[in-house]
Amino acid sequence: MRRAVLAAFLLLSLAGVLRSAPPATNSAVAEAPRPASKPDGGEAAAGKPLFEQFCAACHGISGAGMAPLAPPLTNSNWLRGPEGRLIRIVLNGLEGPIQVNGTNYAPPAIMPEMASLAALDDEQIASILSFLRRDWGRGAGPVSAAQVARIRSETANRETPWTERELSQIK
């Protein structure tokens, strides 16, 4: 069952990447839209197309989640929490059950594991998370590329996805 769910996730993710990638490139990540550096917070707006390309296949275009793939992001307590938790999830993935807004999500209701998106660069990850926190996190503050770079460096040797229990220890 786990393999079937992971295969479905990979196919959906690949479909999203192929649908949005220019035909002349071999690397969807290299061709992904780059966030604009704008002093007015334009980084969050630059995160929307990246979210649509890399995240919406499982979390839904509206962030409402898609069973059996992923829980909702809209108004999620995780988006309002410490930025370091979100950055770690994107860099290393997430496995096992998770509680979102008081509702428990556990396999097989969701995928057993969210894959890492560490192939994205620090600016791209910061843009996606800033978009999510601004639009669906009830106005939570942005995430900077420097924060992503710091946590990427701190967790460089990690080879396994995070669990909710581990992430809850991060303040």
Angle between helices 2-20 and 42-54 (to 10 degrees): 120
User: Can you give the CATH number for the domain in which 151 is found?
Assistant: 1.10.760.10
Full domain range(s) for residue 149: 2-23+42-168
Any domain includes 90: yes
State yes or no: pLDDT of 33 exceeds 80: no
Residues 131, 142: Cα–Cα separation, whole Å: 8
Burial class (CB in 10 A: 0-12, 13-18, 19+), 137: buried
Report CA 55 to chain centroid distance, whole Å.
6
Any domain includes 150: yes
The pTM for the full model equals 0.76
Q: How many domains does the chain fold into?
A: 1
Task: Give per-residue pLDDT as tens, 79-125.
Answer: 999 999 999 999 999 999 999 988 999 887 778 788 889 999 999 99
Any domain includes 96: yes
Task: Give per-residue pLDDT as tens, 138-156.
Answer: 889 999 999 999 999 999 9
Any domain includes 141: yes
Any domain includes 104: yes
